[in-house]
């Protein structure tokens, strides 16, 4: 009898829940480890050929501890787990700064073409010409959309792209024999910005924003000096506002010999309409999983190519795809001279997130230059529509129009006893994934709503009606919010307890008991 | 445009509700001189058929490993992925969900990650594992930086048996991150003595198991030497299937295991996305980078999972975080978790046994090719052969005959005459006897 069978109780619970704990379509599901039958497997593999092993006397002794399940059990297990997740496919997912847009299925199909999905990264150049062409095409689209001369494709995610961009800056400074150690970052920046700069030895200084949510150019200028390596700016910024004076900031930092890093997390708001290269940017990462719709997958894989100005381009990390006499070539090891000879090194094995490149290029080709400009416009229109229709019952953090995301603070909840977190949890019971909460840090009880361009007006109207109803309800029924969510597979979880005594893996019952004693 | 639901009427109504005359008004903060009023210089939108045709044409110019005899490895391996894996990871509830920041509606991802962490800990023989990293190479760099935090020391020693691109990544982080990296000379014979490089300033020794050249060495003596000097042993595995047949790194004294999980559940994908596995000892957990799923209870006392120990991470700690990493490889970790669940104890062990047996058969067949010698005494599913002439040329000539013979060592370690004739050859459960015979015949002909 498996652990799970033993755990099933005898009868119905007081609330009508059946013996398994399942309720209608809400299925309780045990851990795979609790469904083990020793020797059972979900694959049929032939008996291995008999050979004398050459494992150097290190053949594994004893059990690993993995459970045995058949294929039908595995399919049911993961299907049931999937049903405990909210997803864009199921509903509006207005998670600000995350750009949860529709993930086209054509892109999935393209990434699975054998010529891409089953292609080995170290196959000879003659066997990968189509893959190198795809890298070249993707680079062309990214460079054209940003008006930047170069792009490093290999970073595996946005933060990895930031690291790449900041390393290019460090390499360029070193090449000039300069040892600048300060990096200026607005207080509203995403946490990865200061973490990235600090990880490679820069001293990070936070610069407060103005009352209108924009960077304070005067405050930045006051801090500039010969020891400043770079300014890191997000544009549009994390408050959902375009930094009008970014070009002035670029000029100022260039004048003292520093560089402008732009966090491109919010590129979706301006793609096809504004080219960051026209703003004086030296390096900017692009989250392909945001603007270019590669699926978020429950937390990755991401992909974070970095576009680079002419000043930084020579320092781009390996590998590089180049046009050779007989087709494309890849430069993947340090060069004594010519292209790649100033490369800062390497950040990732092989060539980057190829599967994501295929999806992103399919997305770009599907939209075209015309469709991408429409993406930016519709994303901004949708966010402003939510802002306009909710601003009388909720409290916008800043006056005026927003870009692709509408930022509210918690003033409208003042004296109700309802917190931003409660409000978010009540939204879950109403059938929505909450917006981003408590970010950016500079806004009290922040709620950052990013509907994206792939929501219809009907979907927005329903969402707006829900927000308005909740804002109204908050005035009279704080308990509704404090108790939320009630209708989910799990109610609020004890995060403090989880961190105090971390249980990070399953262990057999006997081991658990021994540990308790 | 098929992905954009707003109609012209919708847009007009919405602008009216907003009180703006045009969409351009909403962008009023964007200066006129940088506004692109016309589409940028790129093609216009295309339908599914046209995109499919263009990309399929590109894909057709490549040689996929499954269509020819292929013996490529060196950190990426062709394995059979059961059909259920790709079906399940394409469920929209997994594919189109975000990081599980709202645990009440993300229990599917969180429970899966908890199972994944348990699988990784068991296979590597370690106490705890995280919810995955970008890939094995970046996990290795993170392991070295973690060893620096744990030991408060500043020099890492990298084995000459470490994958050269992994080594390059650690060196890049060292160069710009302010720690020293001592890379030992390439070790094609598997005989180096890394322990000799230990000193009071060494944070860790990084070895690959099985090594880049395929050797399998007992790591216990090295672990003991590291611990005697207060250093950590970081073990890197690029072929995770090997741990179904081999003693685990944890059992031999590893302090951190950084591994590539691509072999389980994930395709070759021309090098990514893959899934980094990261495991360590319980006592180091608060210095570990990356996300963690932890067990807890909900308001009704029912078991559930949340992201935990996030006070290590950048969104809380900002410039004081243990790492700048903000994501994991969620969907690739899911593919790994499903495939591993399908395999189970019996399946993983058998898969590993088949891989090893195929490689032994291949090594024996290749040993009969005049002029070729197998370098390795020990290996799992990949080994090094020495050829009488440069491996790179042979590989190109065999590719023209649609045989992917292996990875020339010189591709990753160019400019060293002693390595020019070495070829890495891998065999997995996907290789047939016919594949092997085709390789042997082609090599015989090329070397004649």
Give the model confidence (pLDDT) of A425-476 as tens digits. Answer: 999 999 999 999 999 989 999 999 999 999 999 999 999 999 999 999 999 9
Do the Cβ atoms of A298 and A85 come closer than 8 Å?
yes
Q: Nearest C-alpha of chain A: how many angstroms from B275? A: 8
Quote the tokens at residue B443: 């090599």
Are the C-beta atoms of residues A276 and A147 closer than 8 Å to each other? yes
CA–CA gap between residue B407 and residue A265 (Å, rounded): 37
Q: Which residues contact A283 (CB under 8 A, 6 or more apart)?
A: A164, A165, A166, A168, A169, A259, A260, A261, A262, A306, A307, A308, A309, A312
Q: Within its chain, how far is the Cα of A355 from the centroid?
A: 16
CA B239, distance to chain mean position in Å, is 9
The answer to whether B258 touches B236, Cβ cutoff 8 Å, is: yes
What is the least distance, in Å, from the CA of B81 to any CA of chain A? Answer: 10
Q: Inter-chain contact B115–A170, Cβ cutoff 8 Å?
A: no
Please list every residue in chain B whose beta carbon sits closer than 8 Å to the beta carbon of residue A123.
62-63, 65, 72, 399, 404
Cross-sheet strand order for the sheet of B180-183: B128-129, B276-280, B256-260, B232-237, B202-208, B155-158, B180-183
Q: Is A56 left (phi over 0), alpha (psi -120 to 50) or beta?
A: left
Fold of A106-362: 3.40.640
DSSP state of B282: G
A300:B344 CB<8 A: no
- Which architecture characterizes domain A376-497 according to CATH? Alpha-Beta Complex (3.90)
Q: Is the CB of residue A181 less than 8 Å from the CB of residue B178?
A: no
CB atoms within 10 A of CB A27: 16
CA trace torsion B52, B58, B61, B67 (10° rounding): -50
Question: Which 3 state secondary structure label does DSSP give A306?
Answer: strand
Do B245 and A86 lie within an 8 Å CB cutoff? no
- At A182, phi and psi to the nearest 5? -100, 140
CATH 3.90.1150.10 range(s) for chain B read: 65-79+346-447
User: pLDDT category, B284, cuts 50, 70, 90?
Assistant: very high
Of B111, B320, B354, the CB nearest to A81: B111
Yes or no, beta carbons of A351 and B363 under 8 Å apart: no
Nearest to A260 by CA among A243, A240, A238: A243
Beta strands B232-237 and A203-207, pairing class: unpaired
Looking at A54-127, list the stretches that DSSP marks H as alpha helix, in order from N- to C-terminal side: 71-82, 105-111, 114-117
CA distances from B412 to A315, A334, A390, B297, B322 (A): 20, 10, 58, 49, 31
Task: With CB atoms and an 8 Å threshold, state whether A333 touches B412.
Answer: yes
| pLDDT > 70? residue B398 | yes
Please calculate the CA angle A376-A380-A386 and round it to the nearest 5 degrees.
150
Report residue A1's pLDDT band, with 50, 70 and 90 as the boundaries: low
Cβ neighbours of A289 (radius 10 Å): 29
The answer to whether residues B406 and B423 touch, using CB atoms and an 8 Å cutoff, is yes
Three-state DSSP state, B280: strand
Report the range of poorest mean pLDDT among A206-210, A352-356, A463-467, B131-135. Answer: A206-210
* Residue numbers in A near B296 (CB within 8 A): 493-495, 497-498, 503
- Angle at CA A224, nearest 5°, toward A223 and A228? 115
Residues in A touching B316 (Cβ below 8 Å): 191
User: Does A180 reach chain B within 8 Å, measured CB to CB?
Assistant: no
* Tokens standing for residue A364: 């770009």
Distance in angstroms (rounded) separating the CA atoms of residues A180 and A202: 8
Q: Which chain B residues are Cβ-neighbours of A243 within 8 angstroms?
A: 29
Distance from CA of A222 to the nearest CA of B (A): 22
Lowest mean pLDDT among A3-12, A60-69, B102-111, B422-431: A3-12
Distance from CA of A116 to the nearest CA of B (A): 6
- Six-digit token string for A250: 């670029």
Among partner residues B28, B51, B327, which is closest to A299 by beta-carbon distance? B327
Boundaries of every domain in chain A: 106-362, 376-497
Strands B202-208 and B232-237: parallel
Residues in chain B: 448
pLDDT confidence tier of residue A11, bands split at 50, 70 and 90 = confident
Q: Do the Cβ atoms of A492 and B104 come within 8 Å?
A: yes
Q: CA gyration radius for chain A?
A: 26
Distance from CA of B197 to the nearest CA of A (A): 24
Cα(A450)–Cα(A436) distance, integer angstroms? 9
Give the separation between CA B123 and CA B113, rounded to whole angstroms: 15
Residue B103 forms contact with A (CB below 8 Å): yes
Whether residue A515 lies within 8 A of chain B, CB to CB, comes out as no
Residue A15 has pLDDT above 90, yes or no: no
Interface test with B, best of A59, A113, A127 (most B CBs within 10 A): A127
Which of B49, B84, B105 has the most A C-beta neighbours within 10 Å, making it the best mutation to test the interface with A? B105
Q: For residue A374, give the nearest of B4, B54, B243 by CB distance.
A: B4
Which has the minimum average pLDDT: A1-15, B110-124, B209-223? A1-15
Chain B: residue whose CA lies nearest to A358: B55
Q: At residue A509, does pLDDT exceed 80?
A: no
Q: Kindly give the interhelix angle for B8-18 and A354-390, rounded to the nearest 10 degrees.
A: 50
Residue B182 burial class via C-beta count within 10 angstroms: exposed 0-12, middle 13-18, buried 19 and up: middle
Query: Tokens 């490089």 identify what position?
Result: B197
> Which alpha helices (H) appear in B77-131, and where do they start and end?
83-89, 92-95, 107-124
A120 CB neighbours in chain B (<8 A) are: 65, 70, 72, 76, 78, 268, 270, 404
Give φ, ψ of B183 to 5 degrees.
-95, 120
Please tell me the distance from the alpha carbon of residue A108 to that of residue A352, in angstroms, as a whole number.
Answer: 18
| Contact between chains at A348 and B1 (C-beta distance less than 8 A) | no
- Rounded Cα distance between B349 and B126, Å, is 18
Chain-centroid distance, C-alpha B208: 13
Query: Is the Cβ of A175 closer than 8 Å to some Cβ of chain B?
Result: no
- In CATH terms, the fold of domain B83-339 is 3.40.640
- Is there a contact between B107 and A74 if contact means CB atoms under 8 Å apart? no
- CB proximity A210 to B under 8 Å: no
Q: How far apart are CA B31 and CA B43, in angstroms?
A: 26
Q: Which residue has the tokens 């969907």?
A: B331
Report pLDDT digits (tens) over A28-42.
999 999 999 999 999
Topology of domain B65-79+346-447 in CATH is 3.90.1150
Q: Where do we find the tokens 């322990």?
A: B195
Say if residue B268's pLDDT is above 60: yes
d(CA B159, CA B157) in angstroms, rounded, equals 7
What is the per-residue pLDDT for A512?
64
- Verify whether the Cβ–Cβ distance B295 to A33 is below 8 Å: no
Q: What is the rounded distance in angstroms from the CA atom of residue B214 to the CA atom of residue B380? A: 7
Is 70 exceeded by the pLDDT of residue A511? no
- Which helix (H) or strand (E) segment holds residue B37: the answer is none
Residue A75 burial by Cβ neighbours in a 10 Å radius (0-12, 13-18, 19+): middle
Q: How big is the A-B interface in CB pairs under 8 Å? A: 716
Distance from CA of A59 to the nearest CA of B (A): 5
Measured between CB atoms, does B79 come within 8 Å of chain A? Answer: no
Task: Please count the helices (runs of H) and the strands (runs of E) in chain B.
Answer: 14, 13
Cβ separation A81–B105 shorter than 8 A: no
* pTM (whole model) above 0.95: yes
- In Å, how far is A428's CA from the nearest CA of chain B? 8
Report whether pLDDT(B99) > 80.
yes
Which of B59, B95, B333 is the closest to A103 by Cβ? B95
More confident residue, A68 or B326: A68
Closest approach of chain A CAs to the CA of B372, in angstroms? 19
C-beta of residue A489 within 8 angstroms of C-beta of residue A84: yes
Q: Is B25 on the interface with A (CB under 8 A)?
A: yes
In angstroms, the separation between the Cα of residue B59 and the nearest Cα of chain A is 4
Q: Residue B325: pLDDT band by 50, 70, 90 thresholds?
A: confident
- State whether A192 and B314 contact (CB < 8 Å): yes
In this complex, do A348 and B109 lie within 8 Å of one another by their Cβ atoms? Answer: no
Angstroms from A262 CA to nearest CA on chain B: 16
**pLDDT(B316) > 70:** no
Mean pLDDT of A215-220: 92
List, as one string, the DSSP characters of A156-185: -SHHHHHHHHHHHHHHHHHHTT----EEEE
pLDDT digits (tens, 9 = 90+) for A82-127: 999 999 999 999 999 999 999 999 999 999 999 999 999 999 999 9
Q: Is the peptide bond before A319 cis (omega within 30 degrees of 0)?
A: yes
Q: Using a CB-CB distance cutoff of 8 angstroms, which residues of chain B are in contact with residue A89?
A: 92-93, 95-96
Give which of B261, B271, B298 to mutate to test A binding, by max A Cβ within 10 Å.
Answer: B271
Question: What does the pLDDT average to over A172-176?
Answer: 96
A164 has pLDDT over 90: yes
Question: CB distance A247–B75 less than 8 Å?
Answer: no
In DSSP terms, A324 is beta-bridged to A327
**A514 pLDDT higher than 70:** no
Q: pLDDT at residue A5 above 80? A: no
Distance CA B285, CA A23 (A): 37
DSSP B140-151: HHHHHHHHHHHH
C-beta atoms of B76 and A121 within 8 A: yes
């Amino acid at each position: 009898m498996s652990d799970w069978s033993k755990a099933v109780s005898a009868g119905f619970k007081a609330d009508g829940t059946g013996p398994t704990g399942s309720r209608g379509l809400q299925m309780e599901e045990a851990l795979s480890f609790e469904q083990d039958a020793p020797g059972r497997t979900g694959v049929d593999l032939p008996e291995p050929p008999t050979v004398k092993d050459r494992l150097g006397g290190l053949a594994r002794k004893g059990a690993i501890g993995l459970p045995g399940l058949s294929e039908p059990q595995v399919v049911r297990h993961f299907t049931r787990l999937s049903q405990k997740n909210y997803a864009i496919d199921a509903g509006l997912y207005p998670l600000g700064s995350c750009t949860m847009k529709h993930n086209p299925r054509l892109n999935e199909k393209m990434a699975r073409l054998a010529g891409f999905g089953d292609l080995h990264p170290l196959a000879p150049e003659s066997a990968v010409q189509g893959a190198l062409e795809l890298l070249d095409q993707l680079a062309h689209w990214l460079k054209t959309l940003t008006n930047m001369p170069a792009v490093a494709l290999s970073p595996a995610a946005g933060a990895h792209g930031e690291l790449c961009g900041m390393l290019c800056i460090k390499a360029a400074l070193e090449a000039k024999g300069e040892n600048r150690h300060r990096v200026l970052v607005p207080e509203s920046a995403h946490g990865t910005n200061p973490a990235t700069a600090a990880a490679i030895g820069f001293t990070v200084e936070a610069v407060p924003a103005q009352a209108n949510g924009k960077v304070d150019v005067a405050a930045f200028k006051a801090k500039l000096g010969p020891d400043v390596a770079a300014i890191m700016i997000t544009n549009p910024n994390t408050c959902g506002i375009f930094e009008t004076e970014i070009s002035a900031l670029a000029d100022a930092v260039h004048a003292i010999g520093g560089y402008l890093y732009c966090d491109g997390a919010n590129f979706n708001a301006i793609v096809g309409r504004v080219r960051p290269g026209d703003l004086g940017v030296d390096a900017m990462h692009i989250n392909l999983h945001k603007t270019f719709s590669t699926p978020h997958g429950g937390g990755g894989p991401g992909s974070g190519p970095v576009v680079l100005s002419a000043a930084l381009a020579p320092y781009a990390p390996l590998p590089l795809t180049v046009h050779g006499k007989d087709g494309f070539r890849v430069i993947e090891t340090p060069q004594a001279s010519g292209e790649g000879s100033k490369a800062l090194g390497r950040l990732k094995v092989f060539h980057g997130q190829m599967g994501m490149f295929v999806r992103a290029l399919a997305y770009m080709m599907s939209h075209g230059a015309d469709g991408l400009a429409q993406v930016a416009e519709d994303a901004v229109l949708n966010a402003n529509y939510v802002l306009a229709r909710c601003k009388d019952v909720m409290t916008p953090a800043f006056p005026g129009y927003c870009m692709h995301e509408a930022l509210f603070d918690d003033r409208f909840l003042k004296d109700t006893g309802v917190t931003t977190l409660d409000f978010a949890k009540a939204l879950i019971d109403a059938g929505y994934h909450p917006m981003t909460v408590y970010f950016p840090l500079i806004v009290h009880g922040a709620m950052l709503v990013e509907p994206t361009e792939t929501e219809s007006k009907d979907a927005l109207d329903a969402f707006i009606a829900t927000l308005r109803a909740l804002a109204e309800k908050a005035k009279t029924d704080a308990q509704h919010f404090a108790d939320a969510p009630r209708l989910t597979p799990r109610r609020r979880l004890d995060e403090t307890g989880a961190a105090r005594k971390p249980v990070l893996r399953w262990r057999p019952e006997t081991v658990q008991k021994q540990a308790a004693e | 445009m098929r992905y954009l639901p707003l109609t012209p009427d919708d847009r007009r109504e919405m602008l009216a509700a907003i009180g703006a005359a045009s969409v351009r008004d909403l962008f009023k903060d964007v200066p006129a001189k940088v506004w692109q009023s016309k589409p940028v210089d790129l093609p216009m939108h295309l339908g599914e058929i046209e995109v499919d045709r263009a990309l399929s044409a590109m894909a057709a110019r490549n040689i996929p490993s499954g269509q020819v005899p292929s013996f490529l490895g060196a950190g990426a391996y062709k394995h059979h992925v059961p059909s259920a894996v790709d079906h399940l990871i394409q469920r929209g509830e997994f594919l189109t969900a975000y990081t599980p920041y709202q645990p009440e509606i993300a229990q599917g991802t969180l429970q899966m990650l908890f199972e994944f962490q348990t699988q990784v800990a068991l296979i590597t023989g370690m106490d705890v594992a995280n919810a995955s990293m970008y890939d094995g190479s970046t996990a290795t760099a993170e392991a070295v930086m973690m060893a620096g935090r744990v030991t408060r020391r500043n020099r890492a020693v990298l084995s000459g048996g470490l994958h050269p691109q992994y080594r390059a990544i650690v060196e890049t982080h060292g160069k710009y991150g302010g720690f020293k990296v001592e890379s030992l000379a390439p070790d094609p014979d598997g005989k180096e003595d890394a322990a000799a490089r230990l000193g009071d300033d060494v944070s860790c020794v990084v070895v690959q198991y099985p090594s880049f050249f395929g050797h399998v060495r007992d790591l216990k003596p090295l672990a003991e030497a590291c611990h005697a000097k207060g250093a950590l042993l970081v073990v890197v595995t690029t072929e995770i299937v090997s741990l179904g047949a081999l003693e685990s790194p944890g059992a031999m004294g590893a302090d951190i295991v950084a591994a590539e999980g691509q072999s389980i559940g994930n395709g070759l994908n021309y090098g990514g996305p893959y899934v980094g596995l990261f495991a360590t000892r319980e006592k180091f957990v608060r210095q570990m980078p990356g996300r963690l799923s932890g067990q807890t209870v909900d308001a009704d006392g029912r078991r559930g999972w949340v992201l935990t120990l996030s006070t290590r991470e950048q969104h809380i700690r900002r410039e004081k975080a243990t790492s700048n990493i903000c994501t994991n490889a969620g969907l690739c970790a899911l593919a790994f978790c499903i495939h591993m669940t399908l395999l189970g104890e019996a399946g993983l062990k058998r898969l590993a046994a088949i891989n090893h047996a195929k490689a032994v058969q291949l090594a024996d067949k290749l040993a009969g090719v005049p002029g070729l010698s197998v370098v390795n005494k020990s290996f799992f599913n990949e080994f090094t052969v020495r050829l009488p002439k440069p491996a790179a040329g042979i590989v190109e000539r065999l590719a023209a005959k649609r045989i992917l013979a292996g990875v020339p060592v010189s591709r990753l370690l160019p400019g060293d005459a002693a390595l020019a004739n070495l070829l890495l050859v891998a065999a997995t459960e996907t290789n047939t006897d016919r594949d092997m015979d085709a390789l042997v015949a082609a090599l015989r002909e090329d070397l004649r």
